[in-house]
Structure 1
Amino acid sequence: MKEWQKELYIYRLSPAPPKKDDLQEYIDLYLAEKDETYLSWFLHYYEPTLNTTVMGVVQRYSMFGHFLDIKEACVLGILRALEEYPKDCDTPFITYKTRIMWEEIHNYIRTMRTGFTVQSDDEYRNLRNIMRLFTAYNSKGDPDTLKKISDEVGLSEKTVKEILQSGFHNMQFVDFYRNYADEDSEESREDVTCDYTFEPCCEMIQKEQTEAVFGALNELSYREREVIRSHIGFCPDCHSMKSPKFRSHTFQEIAYKNELSSAEAAENIYHKGLAKMKEKLQKKGIFHP
Protein backbone atom coordinates (compact mmCIF):
# COMPACT_ATOMS: atom_id res chain seq x y z
CA MET A 1 0.00 0.00 0.00
CA LYS A 2 1.34 3.44 -0.95
CA GLU A 3 1.89 6.09 1.72
CA TRP A 4 -0.97 8.29 0.53
CA GLN A 5 -3.32 5.29 0.59
CA LYS A 6 -2.55 4.68 4.26
CA GLU A 7 -3.96 8.12 5.04
CA LEU A 8 -7.31 6.98 3.66
CA TYR A 9 -7.65 4.15 6.17
CA ILE A 10 -6.29 5.40 9.50
CA TYR A 11 -9.63 4.67 11.22
CA ARG A 12 -10.24 1.32 9.55
CA LEU A 13 -10.66 -1.54 12.02
CA SER A 14 -9.90 -5.19 11.39
CA PRO A 15 -12.03 -7.16 11.73
CA ALA A 16 -14.80 -4.76 10.80
CA PRO A 17 -17.08 -3.82 13.71
CA PRO A 18 -20.80 -4.70 13.78
CA LYS A 19 -22.55 -2.66 11.12
CA LYS A 20 -25.60 -0.60 12.01
CA ASP A 21 -28.23 0.54 9.54
CA ASP A 22 -27.78 4.14 10.68
CA LEU A 23 -24.54 5.79 11.87
CA GLN A 24 -26.62 7.69 14.41
CA GLU A 25 -26.89 4.45 16.40
CA TYR A 26 -23.13 4.52 17.12
CA ILE A 27 -23.41 8.13 18.31
CA ASP A 28 -26.38 7.32 20.56
CA LEU A 29 -24.50 4.39 22.10
CA TYR A 30 -21.38 6.51 22.63
CA LEU A 31 -23.34 9.28 24.34
CA ALA A 32 -25.26 6.83 26.49
CA GLU A 33 -22.31 4.71 27.63
CA LYS A 34 -19.34 7.06 27.11
CA ASP A 35 -17.49 4.14 25.57
CA GLU A 36 -15.00 5.25 22.89
CA THR A 37 -15.40 1.87 21.20
CA TYR A 38 -18.61 3.14 19.62
CA LEU A 39 -16.85 6.29 18.43
CA SER A 40 -14.17 4.18 16.74
CA TRP A 41 -16.91 2.11 15.08
CA PHE A 42 -18.54 5.32 13.86
CA LEU A 43 -15.25 6.59 12.38
CA HIS A 44 -14.61 3.20 10.73
CA TYR A 45 -17.78 3.50 8.65
CA TYR A 46 -17.77 7.29 8.29
CA GLU A 47 -14.17 7.48 7.04
CA PRO A 48 -14.96 7.11 3.29
CA THR A 49 -17.27 10.13 3.51
CA LEU A 50 -14.64 11.97 5.54
CA ASN A 51 -12.03 11.24 2.86
CA THR A 52 -14.28 12.72 0.17
CA THR A 53 -14.79 15.89 2.21
CA VAL A 54 -11.08 16.28 2.92
CA MET A 55 -10.05 15.67 -0.69
CA GLY A 56 -12.50 18.38 -1.74
CA VAL A 57 -10.82 20.80 0.68
CA VAL A 58 -7.34 19.81 -0.53
CA GLN A 59 -8.30 20.44 -4.16
CA ARG A 60 -10.24 23.63 -3.62
CA TYR A 61 -7.63 25.27 -1.44
CA SER A 62 -4.67 23.72 -3.29
CA MET A 63 -3.30 22.28 -0.05
CA PHE A 64 -1.64 19.14 -1.36
CA GLY A 65 0.41 17.45 1.34
CA HIS A 66 -2.06 18.56 4.04
CA PHE A 67 -4.59 15.74 3.59
CA LEU A 68 -3.94 14.03 6.93
CA ASP A 69 -3.79 17.29 8.89
CA ILE A 70 -7.12 18.45 7.45
CA LYS A 71 -8.59 15.04 8.18
CA GLU A 72 -7.50 15.35 11.80
CA ALA A 73 -9.06 18.83 11.91
CA CYS A 74 -12.33 17.24 10.79
CA VAL A 75 -12.13 14.65 13.55
CA LEU A 76 -11.39 17.40 16.07
CA GLY A 77 -14.58 19.10 14.87
CA ILE A 78 -16.49 15.83 15.32
CA LEU A 79 -15.21 15.54 18.89
CA ARG A 80 -16.20 19.14 19.61
CA ALA A 81 -19.64 18.51 18.17
CA LEU A 82 -20.07 15.45 20.40
CA GLU A 83 -19.41 17.61 23.45
CA GLU A 84 -22.00 20.18 22.35
CA TYR A 85 -24.60 17.80 20.88
CA PRO A 86 -27.86 18.47 22.83
CA LYS A 87 -29.66 15.58 24.48
CA ASP A 88 -32.77 14.48 22.59
CA CYS A 89 -31.79 16.64 19.61
CA ASP A 90 -33.99 15.78 16.62
CA THR A 91 -31.24 16.72 14.20
CA PRO A 92 -29.02 13.77 13.21
CA PHE A 93 -25.45 14.11 14.45
CA ILE A 94 -24.13 13.91 10.86
CA THR A 95 -26.00 17.14 10.13
CA TYR A 96 -25.37 18.80 13.48
CA LYS A 97 -21.58 18.40 13.38
CA THR A 98 -21.17 19.95 9.91
CA ARG A 99 -20.86 23.60 11.01
CA ILE A 100 -18.48 22.78 13.86
CA MET A 101 -16.35 20.51 11.69
CA TRP A 102 -15.99 23.22 9.06
CA GLU A 103 -14.96 25.70 11.74
CA GLU A 104 -12.02 23.45 12.55
CA ILE A 105 -11.18 23.04 8.86
CA HIS A 106 -11.13 26.80 8.29
CA ASN A 107 -9.15 27.33 11.47
CA TYR A 108 -6.49 24.95 10.19
CA ILE A 109 -6.43 26.63 6.77
CA ARG A 110 -6.23 30.06 8.40
CA THR A 111 -3.17 29.09 10.40
CA MET A 112 -1.45 27.28 7.53
CA ARG A 113 -1.73 28.52 3.98
CA THR A 114 -4.22 29.29 1.26
CA GLY A 115 -1.97 31.53 -0.82
CA PHE A 116 -2.10 34.09 2.00
CA THR A 117 -1.19 32.93 5.51
CA VAL A 118 -3.03 34.67 8.33
CA GLN A 119 -0.95 34.59 11.49
CA SER A 120 -3.48 35.49 14.17
CA ASP A 121 -7.19 35.62 14.99
CA ASP A 122 -7.11 39.43 14.81
CA GLU A 123 -5.65 39.37 11.29
CA TYR A 124 -8.21 36.77 10.25
CA ARG A 125 -11.07 38.90 11.61
CA ASN A 126 -9.71 41.88 9.65
CA LEU A 127 -9.59 39.79 6.48
CA ARG A 128 -13.16 38.54 6.98
CA ASN A 129 -14.48 41.99 7.84
CA ILE A 130 -12.78 43.73 4.92
CA MET A 131 -13.90 41.10 2.40
CA ARG A 132 -17.46 41.36 3.74
CA LEU A 133 -17.46 45.17 3.53
CA PHE A 134 -16.04 45.04 0.02
CA THR A 135 -18.87 42.74 -1.07
CA ALA A 136 -21.46 45.05 0.51
CA TYR A 137 -20.14 48.33 -0.93
CA ASN A 138 -18.89 47.07 -4.27
CA SER A 139 -22.20 45.32 -5.04
CA LYS A 140 -23.72 48.82 -5.17
CA GLY A 141 -20.98 50.06 -7.49
CA ASP A 142 -19.76 52.55 -4.87
CA PRO A 143 -16.68 54.34 -6.32
CA ASP A 144 -15.47 55.19 -2.78
CA THR A 145 -15.47 51.56 -1.63
CA LEU A 146 -11.80 51.51 -0.65
CA LYS A 147 -12.00 54.76 1.34
CA LYS A 148 -15.17 53.73 3.16
CA ILE A 149 -13.67 50.40 4.16
CA SER A 150 -10.50 52.16 5.30
CA ASP A 151 -12.50 54.58 7.47
CA GLU A 152 -14.64 51.80 8.94
CA VAL A 153 -11.84 49.42 9.92
CA GLY A 154 -9.32 52.09 10.91
CA LEU A 155 -6.60 50.97 8.50
CA SER A 156 -4.89 52.85 5.69
CA GLU A 157 -6.22 52.46 2.16
CA LYS A 158 -2.90 50.86 1.20
CA THR A 159 -3.26 48.20 3.90
CA VAL A 160 -6.90 47.56 2.98
CA LYS A 161 -5.91 47.17 -0.66
CA GLU A 162 -3.19 44.66 0.24
CA ILE A 163 -5.61 42.61 2.34
CA LEU A 164 -8.20 42.66 -0.45
CA GLN A 165 -5.60 41.50 -2.98
CA SER A 166 -4.63 38.67 -0.64
CA GLY A 167 -8.27 37.67 -0.18
CA PHE A 168 -8.92 37.58 -3.92
CA HIS A 169 -5.68 35.65 -4.44
CA ASN A 170 -7.04 32.97 -2.11
CA MET A 171 -10.14 32.64 -4.26
CA GLN A 172 -8.03 31.97 -7.35
CA PHE A 173 -5.26 29.89 -5.78
CA VAL A 174 -5.93 26.48 -7.38
CA ASP A 175 -3.26 24.11 -8.60
CA PHE A 176 -3.29 23.48 -12.36
CA TYR A 177 -3.33 19.73 -11.82
CA ARG A 178 -5.36 17.75 -9.31
CA ASN A 179 -4.28 14.38 -7.94
CA TYR A 180 -6.96 12.07 -6.65
CA ALA A 181 -7.87 8.41 -6.30
CA ASP A 182 -10.69 7.15 -8.49
CA GLU A 183 -13.19 4.42 -7.57
CA ASP A 184 -10.63 1.72 -8.31
CA SER A 185 -8.07 3.42 -6.03
CA GLU A 186 -5.88 4.23 -9.03
CA GLU A 187 -4.09 7.57 -9.04
CA SER A 188 -5.32 9.99 -11.68
CA ARG A 189 -4.56 13.55 -12.73
CA GLU A 190 -7.07 16.06 -13.93
CA ASP A 191 -6.11 19.13 -15.93
CA VAL A 192 -8.01 22.20 -14.73
CA THR A 193 -7.67 25.89 -15.40
CA CYS A 194 -10.04 27.29 -12.81
CA ASP A 195 -12.32 26.14 -10.01
CA TYR A 196 -15.64 27.96 -9.79
CA THR A 197 -17.28 25.49 -7.45
CA PHE A 198 -16.08 27.00 -4.18
CA GLU A 199 -14.94 30.43 -3.08
CA PRO A 200 -13.40 30.91 0.37
CA CYS A 201 -14.56 34.52 0.40
CA CYS A 202 -18.21 33.50 -0.06
CA GLU A 203 -17.91 30.77 2.55
CA MET A 204 -16.29 33.22 4.93
CA ILE A 205 -18.99 35.85 4.44
CA GLN A 206 -21.83 33.35 4.73
CA LYS A 207 -20.43 31.90 7.96
CA GLU A 208 -20.02 35.37 9.50
CA GLN A 209 -23.54 36.38 8.49
CA THR A 210 -25.01 33.22 10.03
CA GLU A 211 -23.14 33.74 13.29
CA ALA A 212 -24.22 37.39 13.41
CA VAL A 213 -27.90 36.59 12.76
CA PHE A 214 -28.15 33.98 15.50
CA GLY A 215 -26.05 36.17 17.78
CA ALA A 216 -28.59 38.97 17.34
CA LEU A 217 -31.41 36.49 17.92
CA ASN A 218 -29.88 35.34 21.21
CA GLU A 219 -29.78 38.95 22.45
CA LEU A 220 -33.58 39.21 22.26
CA SER A 221 -35.91 38.45 25.14
CA TYR A 222 -37.01 34.85 25.65
CA ARG A 223 -40.54 35.57 24.37
CA GLU A 224 -39.24 37.34 21.24
CA ARG A 225 -36.89 34.44 20.50
CA GLU A 226 -39.65 31.88 20.97
CA VAL A 227 -42.12 33.73 18.74
CA ILE A 228 -39.56 34.16 15.94
CA ARG A 229 -38.34 30.58 16.25
CA SER A 230 -41.87 29.16 16.27
CA HIS A 231 -43.07 31.20 13.31
CA ILE A 232 -40.02 30.45 11.16
CA GLY A 233 -39.79 26.88 12.45
CA PHE A 234 -36.27 25.87 13.49
CA CYS A 235 -34.62 23.94 16.33
CA PRO A 236 -33.60 26.26 19.21
CA ASP A 237 -30.44 24.24 19.85
CA CYS A 238 -28.93 23.57 16.41
CA HIS A 239 -31.07 25.94 14.26
CA SER A 240 -31.99 23.12 11.87
CA MET A 241 -35.23 23.49 9.90
CA LYS A 242 -35.36 19.85 8.76
CA SER A 243 -37.14 18.31 11.75
CA PRO A 244 -40.97 18.09 11.47
CA LYS A 245 -41.09 18.78 15.21
CA PHE A 246 -40.03 22.36 14.53
CA ARG A 247 -42.44 23.25 11.73
CA SER A 248 -43.58 26.81 11.12
CA HIS A 249 -46.52 27.82 13.34
CA THR A 250 -49.21 30.41 12.65
CA PHE A 251 -49.45 33.48 14.86
CA GLN A 252 -52.72 32.11 16.25
CA GLU A 253 -50.97 28.90 17.32
CA ILE A 254 -48.09 30.88 18.82
CA ALA A 255 -50.51 33.13 20.74
CA TYR A 256 -52.28 30.10 22.22
CA LYS A 257 -49.04 28.35 23.18
CA ASN A 258 -47.50 31.46 24.78
CA GLU A 259 -50.73 32.67 26.45
CA LEU A 260 -50.89 35.86 24.41
CA SER A 261 -54.11 37.81 24.00
CA SER A 262 -54.36 37.44 20.21
CA ALA A 263 -52.63 36.47 16.97
CA GLU A 264 -52.00 40.18 16.40
CA ALA A 265 -50.08 40.35 19.68
CA ALA A 266 -47.88 37.46 18.57
CA GLU A 267 -47.32 39.09 15.19
CA ASN A 268 -46.35 42.40 16.83
CA ILE A 269 -43.77 40.63 19.00
CA TYR A 270 -42.45 38.88 15.89
CA HIS A 271 -41.99 42.08 13.90
CA LYS A 272 -40.54 44.01 16.86
CA GLY A 273 -38.03 41.22 17.42
CA LEU A 274 -37.03 41.26 13.76
CA ALA A 275 -36.67 45.05 13.87
CA LYS A 276 -34.30 44.76 16.85
CA MET A 277 -32.27 42.13 15.05
CA LYS A 278 -32.12 44.31 11.94
CA GLU A 279 -30.84 47.24 13.98
CA LYS A 280 -28.14 45.11 15.63
CA LEU A 281 -27.04 43.69 12.29
CA GLN A 282 -26.90 47.16 10.73
CA LYS A 283 -24.59 48.32 13.51
CA LYS A 284 -22.30 45.38 12.77
CA GLY A 285 -22.38 46.15 9.05
CA ILE A 286 -24.00 42.79 8.22
CA PHE A 287 -27.32 44.17 7.03
CA HIS A 288 -27.53 47.09 4.60
CA PRO A 289 -30.99 48.57 3.91
Structure 2
Amino acid sequence: MTAPALPTEAPATPQTRGTAPWRRQGRAAHVFLLPWLAGLLLITAVPLLASLYLSFTDYDLLNAPSWTGLENYQRMWDDTRFWASASVTLRYVLVSVPLQLAFALLLAVLLDKGLKGLTLYRSGYYLPSLLGTSVAVAILWRQLFGHDGLLNSGLAVLGIEGQSWLQNPTTALGTLIVLNVWTFGSPMIIFLAGLRQIPEELYEAARVDGAGRVRQFASITLPLLTPIIFFNLVLQTIGAFQTFTQAHVISGGRGGPLDSTLFYTLYLYQQGFQNFNMGYASAMAWVLLVVIGVVTALHFTLSKYWVFYGDK
Protein backbone atom coordinates (compact mmCIF):
# COMPACT_ATOMS: atom_id res chain seq x y z
CA MET A 1 0.00 0.00 0.00
CA THR A 2 1.55 3.22 -1.11
CA ALA A 3 1.18 6.56 0.65
CA PRO A 4 -1.00 9.10 -1.13
CA ALA A 5 0.97 11.57 -3.10
CA LEU A 6 1.27 14.94 -1.41
CA PRO A 7 0.05 17.90 -3.41
CA THR A 8 2.89 19.90 -4.83
CA GLU A 9 2.94 23.64 -5.47
CA ALA A 10 2.70 24.69 -9.03
CA PRO A 11 5.98 26.03 -10.32
CA ALA A 12 6.05 29.79 -10.34
CA THR A 13 6.01 31.25 -13.78
CA PRO A 14 8.35 34.09 -14.64
CA GLN A 15 5.38 36.43 -14.48
CA THR A 16 4.36 35.40 -10.93
CA ARG A 17 8.00 35.45 -9.78
CA GLY A 18 8.51 39.01 -10.97
CA THR A 19 5.22 40.60 -9.98
CA ALA A 20 5.64 40.71 -6.19
CA PRO A 21 9.14 42.23 -6.12
CA TRP A 22 8.15 44.90 -8.64
CA ARG A 23 5.08 45.76 -6.59
CA ARG A 24 7.17 45.98 -3.43
CA GLN A 25 9.67 48.23 -5.19
CA GLY A 26 6.81 50.40 -6.46
CA ARG A 27 5.42 50.82 -2.96
CA ALA A 28 8.87 51.66 -1.64
CA ALA A 29 9.33 54.27 -4.38
CA HIS A 30 6.02 55.91 -3.48
CA VAL A 31 6.99 56.02 0.19
CA PHE A 32 10.27 57.77 -0.61
CA LEU A 33 8.45 60.18 -2.94
CA LEU A 34 5.89 61.17 -0.31
CA PRO A 35 7.99 63.98 1.27
CA TRP A 36 8.63 65.52 -2.14
CA LEU A 37 4.98 65.18 -3.17
CA ALA A 38 3.86 66.71 0.13
CA GLY A 39 6.26 69.62 -0.39
CA LEU A 40 5.10 70.11 -3.97
CA LEU A 41 1.47 70.16 -2.86
CA LEU A 42 1.70 72.18 0.35
CA ILE A 43 4.57 74.55 -0.46
CA THR A 44 4.17 75.08 -4.21
CA ALA A 45 0.82 74.05 -5.65
CA VAL A 46 -1.54 75.30 -2.91
CA PRO A 47 0.14 78.74 -2.51
CA LEU A 48 0.27 79.07 -6.30
CA LEU A 49 -3.45 78.47 -6.67
CA ALA A 50 -4.18 80.69 -3.66
CA SER A 51 -2.24 83.58 -5.21
CA LEU A 52 -4.15 83.07 -8.47
CA TYR A 53 -7.41 83.45 -6.57
CA LEU A 54 -6.14 86.46 -4.63
CA SER A 55 -5.13 88.18 -7.86
CA PHE A 56 -8.84 88.60 -8.60
CA THR A 57 -9.64 90.02 -5.18
CA ASP A 58 -9.09 93.05 -2.97
CA TYR A 59 -7.13 91.69 -0.01
CA ASP A 60 -5.31 93.70 2.67
CA LEU A 61 -4.03 90.78 4.82
CA LEU A 62 -6.35 91.85 7.66
CA ASN A 63 -9.84 91.38 6.25
CA ALA A 64 -11.33 88.62 4.15
CA PRO A 65 -10.61 88.99 0.41
CA SER A 66 -13.43 90.42 -1.70
CA TRP A 67 -13.85 89.46 -5.36
CA THR A 68 -13.06 92.26 -7.82
CA GLY A 69 -12.57 90.35 -11.06
CA LEU A 70 -10.00 91.80 -13.47
CA GLU A 71 -9.70 95.10 -11.62
CA ASN A 72 -6.15 94.41 -10.41
CA TYR A 73 -4.96 93.61 -13.92
CA GLN A 74 -6.70 96.66 -15.37
CA ARG A 75 -5.10 98.82 -12.72
CA MET A 76 -1.64 97.98 -14.01
CA TRP A 77 -2.25 99.87 -17.25
CA ASP A 78 -2.59 103.18 -15.39
CA ASP A 79 0.12 102.50 -12.78
CA THR A 80 3.17 104.53 -13.79
CA ARG A 81 5.36 102.90 -11.13
CA PHE A 82 4.40 99.48 -12.44
CA TRP A 83 5.70 100.40 -15.89
CA ALA A 84 8.77 102.04 -14.36
CA SER A 85 9.61 98.83 -12.48
CA ALA A 86 9.06 96.77 -15.63
CA SER A 87 11.40 99.07 -17.57
CA VAL A 88 14.12 98.92 -14.92
CA THR A 89 13.93 95.12 -14.73
CA LEU A 90 13.98 94.73 -18.51
CA ARG A 91 17.07 96.94 -18.87
CA TYR A 92 18.74 95.04 -16.06
CA VAL A 93 18.08 91.69 -17.75
CA LEU A 94 19.13 92.81 -21.23
CA VAL A 95 22.43 94.29 -20.04
CA SER A 96 23.55 92.22 -17.05
CA VAL A 97 22.86 88.71 -18.35
CA PRO A 98 24.93 88.96 -21.59
CA LEU A 99 27.78 90.69 -19.73
CA GLN A 100 27.74 88.08 -16.98
CA LEU A 101 27.79 85.16 -19.44
CA ALA A 102 30.53 86.74 -21.56
CA PHE A 103 32.72 87.35 -18.52
CA ALA A 104 32.05 83.83 -17.21
CA LEU A 105 32.96 82.27 -20.57
CA LEU A 106 36.15 84.33 -20.83
CA LEU A 107 37.38 83.20 -17.42
CA ALA A 108 36.34 79.61 -18.10
CA VAL A 109 38.46 79.58 -21.25
CA LEU A 110 41.42 81.00 -19.31
CA LEU A 111 41.05 78.48 -16.49
CA ASP A 112 40.75 75.60 -18.96
CA LYS A 113 44.44 75.88 -19.85
CA GLY A 114 45.61 73.56 -17.10
CA LEU A 115 46.67 76.12 -14.51
CA LYS A 116 48.30 74.94 -11.32
CA GLY A 117 45.95 75.11 -8.38
CA LEU A 118 42.91 75.09 -10.67
CA THR A 119 40.65 73.83 -7.89
CA LEU A 120 41.62 76.78 -5.70
CA TYR A 121 41.00 79.30 -8.48
CA ARG A 122 37.70 77.65 -9.35
CA SER A 123 36.51 77.78 -5.75
CA GLY A 124 37.61 81.40 -5.38
CA TYR A 125 35.78 82.49 -8.51
CA TYR A 126 32.66 80.56 -7.52
CA LEU A 127 32.48 82.22 -4.10
CA PRO A 128 30.82 85.46 -5.37
CA SER A 129 27.93 83.42 -6.77
CA LEU A 130 27.26 82.04 -3.30
CA LEU A 131 27.44 85.45 -1.64
CA GLY A 132 26.23 87.76 -4.41
CA THR A 133 22.55 87.59 -3.47
CA SER A 134 23.18 87.90 0.26
CA VAL A 135 22.34 90.91 2.38
CA ALA A 136 25.95 91.20 3.57
CA VAL A 137 27.33 91.63 0.05
CA ALA A 138 24.60 94.14 -0.83
CA ILE A 139 25.61 96.20 2.21
CA LEU A 140 29.26 95.91 1.16
CA TRP A 141 28.31 97.07 -2.33
CA ARG A 142 26.53 100.08 -0.85
CA GLN A 143 29.67 101.00 1.06
CA LEU A 144 31.85 100.44 -1.99
CA PHE A 145 29.87 102.77 -4.26
CA GLY A 146 28.84 105.29 -1.61
CA HIS A 147 30.03 108.88 -1.62
CA ASP A 148 32.85 108.06 0.81
CA GLY A 149 33.28 104.53 -0.51
CA LEU A 150 36.32 102.66 -1.70
CA LEU A 151 35.74 103.52 -5.36
CA ASN A 152 35.77 107.26 -4.77
CA SER A 153 38.81 106.89 -2.51
CA GLY A 154 40.65 105.22 -5.36
CA LEU A 155 39.58 107.91 -7.80
CA ALA A 156 40.74 110.60 -5.37
CA VAL A 157 44.25 109.12 -5.47
CA LEU A 158 44.21 109.67 -9.24
CA GLY A 159 42.97 113.23 -8.79
CA ILE A 160 39.45 112.45 -9.96
CA GLU A 161 36.50 113.70 -7.97
CA GLY A 162 34.01 110.92 -7.42
CA GLN A 163 30.29 111.02 -6.92
CA SER A 164 27.64 109.19 -4.98
CA TRP A 165 27.05 106.45 -7.51
CA LEU A 166 24.04 105.05 -5.68
CA GLN A 167 22.33 108.46 -5.39
CA ASN A 168 22.66 109.30 -9.07
CA PRO A 169 19.71 108.01 -11.15
CA THR A 170 21.97 107.54 -14.17
CA THR A 171 24.48 105.29 -12.38
CA ALA A 172 22.48 103.57 -9.62
CA LEU A 173 21.23 100.76 -11.86
CA GLY A 174 24.71 100.31 -13.29
CA THR A 175 26.09 99.45 -9.86
CA LEU A 176 23.55 96.63 -9.56
CA ILE A 177 24.45 95.42 -13.04
CA VAL A 178 28.12 95.29 -12.00
CA LEU A 179 27.10 93.33 -8.90
CA ASN A 180 25.25 90.77 -11.02
CA VAL A 181 28.20 90.45 -13.43
CA TRP A 182 30.45 89.89 -10.40
CA THR A 183 28.42 86.77 -9.53
CA PHE A 184 29.70 84.94 -12.60
CA GLY A 185 30.94 81.88 -10.72
CA SER A 186 28.00 79.57 -11.29
CA PRO A 187 27.84 79.88 -15.11
CA MET A 188 31.65 79.85 -15.23
CA ILE A 189 31.77 76.43 -13.55
CA ILE A 190 29.22 75.10 -16.03
CA PHE A 191 31.17 76.57 -18.96
CA LEU A 192 34.35 75.00 -17.62
CA ALA A 193 32.67 71.59 -17.46
CA GLY A 194 31.51 72.02 -21.05
CA LEU A 195 35.01 72.97 -22.23
CA ARG A 196 36.41 69.80 -20.68
CA GLN A 197 34.07 67.75 -22.89
CA ILE A 198 35.39 69.14 -26.19
CA PRO A 199 37.78 66.58 -27.78
CA GLU A 200 41.36 67.81 -27.98
CA GLU A 201 41.69 66.12 -31.38
CA LEU A 202 39.54 68.85 -32.93
CA TYR A 203 41.98 71.54 -31.80
CA GLU A 204 44.95 69.50 -33.01
CA ALA A 205 43.37 69.12 -36.45
CA ALA A 206 42.64 72.85 -36.56
CA ARG A 207 46.25 73.70 -35.66
CA VAL A 208 47.47 71.39 -38.43
CA ASP A 209 45.27 73.34 -40.86
CA GLY A 210 46.85 76.57 -39.66
CA ALA A 211 43.94 77.91 -37.57
CA GLY A 212 44.90 80.35 -34.84
CA ARG A 213 43.42 80.64 -31.37
CA VAL A 214 40.70 83.07 -32.44
CA ARG A 215 39.67 80.85 -35.36
CA GLN A 216 39.67 77.79 -33.11
CA PHE A 217 37.47 79.56 -30.59
CA ALA A 218 35.01 80.76 -33.25
CA SER A 219 34.89 77.52 -35.25
CA ILE A 220 35.20 74.85 -32.54
CA THR A 221 34.71 76.15 -29.02
CA LEU A 222 31.66 78.37 -29.52
CA PRO A 223 29.62 75.96 -31.70
CA LEU A 224 30.24 73.02 -29.38
CA LEU A 225 29.45 75.16 -26.33
CA THR A 226 26.12 76.47 -27.64
CA PRO A 227 24.05 73.96 -25.59
CA ILE A 228 25.87 75.10 -22.43
CA ILE A 229 25.45 78.75 -23.40
CA PHE A 230 21.75 78.15 -23.93
CA PHE A 231 21.41 76.42 -20.57
CA ASN A 232 23.16 79.26 -18.74
CA LEU A 233 21.20 81.87 -20.67
CA VAL A 234 17.86 80.44 -19.60
CA LEU A 235 18.86 80.05 -15.95
CA GLN A 236 20.45 83.48 -15.62
CA THR A 237 17.58 85.21 -17.41
CA ILE A 238 15.03 83.70 -15.04
CA GLY A 239 17.19 84.65 -12.06
CA ALA A 240 17.64 88.23 -13.32
CA PHE A 241 13.89 88.73 -13.63
CA GLN A 242 13.53 87.69 -9.99
CA THR A 243 16.29 89.94 -8.58
CA PHE A 244 15.21 91.48 -5.28
CA THR A 245 17.72 91.45 -2.40
CA GLN A 246 20.36 93.71 -3.92
CA ALA A 247 17.92 96.44 -4.94
CA HIS A 248 16.08 96.26 -1.61
CA VAL A 249 19.23 96.62 0.50
CA ILE A 250 21.04 99.20 -1.63
CA SER A 251 17.99 101.47 -2.06
CA GLY A 252 16.67 100.92 1.45
CA GLY A 253 13.57 99.23 0.07
CA ARG A 254 12.43 102.35 -1.82
CA GLY A 255 13.85 101.71 -5.28
CA GLY A 256 15.43 105.15 -5.44
CA PRO A 257 16.73 107.48 -6.52
CA LEU A 258 13.76 108.44 -8.70
CA ASP A 259 12.76 104.77 -9.05
CA SER A 260 15.99 104.05 -10.93
CA THR A 261 16.45 100.78 -8.96
CA LEU A 262 12.76 99.96 -8.58
CA PHE A 263 12.90 96.35 -9.69
CA TYR A 264 9.65 94.56 -10.48
CA THR A 265 9.95 92.24 -7.51
CA LEU A 266 10.76 95.19 -5.23
CA TYR A 267 7.61 97.03 -6.32
CA LEU A 268 5.65 93.81 -5.85
CA TYR A 269 7.00 93.60 -2.31
CA GLN A 270 6.05 97.22 -1.63
CA GLN A 271 2.50 96.65 -2.79
CA GLY A 272 2.03 93.41 -0.89
CA PHE A 273 3.83 93.95 2.41
CA GLN A 274 4.11 97.72 2.78
CA ASN A 275 0.86 98.95 1.25
CA PHE A 276 -1.04 95.73 2.09
CA ASN A 277 -2.40 95.44 -1.46
CA MET A 278 -1.91 91.69 -1.53
CA GLY A 279 -4.46 91.19 -4.30
CA TYR A 280 -2.61 93.60 -6.56
CA ALA A 281 0.74 92.04 -5.60
CA SER A 282 -0.62 88.58 -6.48
CA ALA A 283 -1.70 89.87 -9.88
CA MET A 284 1.77 91.30 -10.43
CA ALA A 285 3.30 87.96 -9.47
CA TRP A 286 1.22 86.16 -12.06
CA VAL A 287 2.14 88.69 -14.73
CA LEU A 288 5.80 88.08 -13.91
CA LEU A 289 5.24 84.32 -14.13
CA VAL A 290 3.66 84.67 -17.55
CA VAL A 291 6.44 86.98 -18.78
CA ILE A 292 9.15 84.57 -17.62
CA GLY A 293 7.28 81.70 -19.28
CA VAL A 294 6.98 83.60 -22.56
CA VAL A 295 10.65 84.65 -22.53
CA THR A 296 11.75 81.09 -21.76
CA ALA A 297 9.55 79.73 -24.56
CA LEU A 298 11.06 82.33 -26.89
CA HIS A 299 14.54 81.17 -25.94
CA PHE A 300 13.62 77.58 -26.78
CA THR A 301 12.02 78.62 -30.07
CA LEU A 302 15.05 80.61 -31.20
CA SER A 303 17.52 78.00 -29.97
CA LYS A 304 16.98 75.85 -33.06
CA TYR A 305 18.69 78.57 -35.11
CA TRP A 306 21.89 78.82 -33.09
CA VAL A 307 22.21 75.85 -30.71
CA PHE A 308 24.06 72.88 -32.19
CA TYR A 309 23.95 69.45 -30.57
CA GLY A 310 26.32 66.57 -31.10
CA ASP A 311 23.83 64.49 -33.12
CA LYS A 312 23.38 67.18 -35.76
TM range (shorter): under 0.3
Question: For the pair shown, which has the larger CA radius of gyration, 1 or 2?
Answer: 2
TM-score of the aligned structures, taking structure 1 as reference length: 0.24
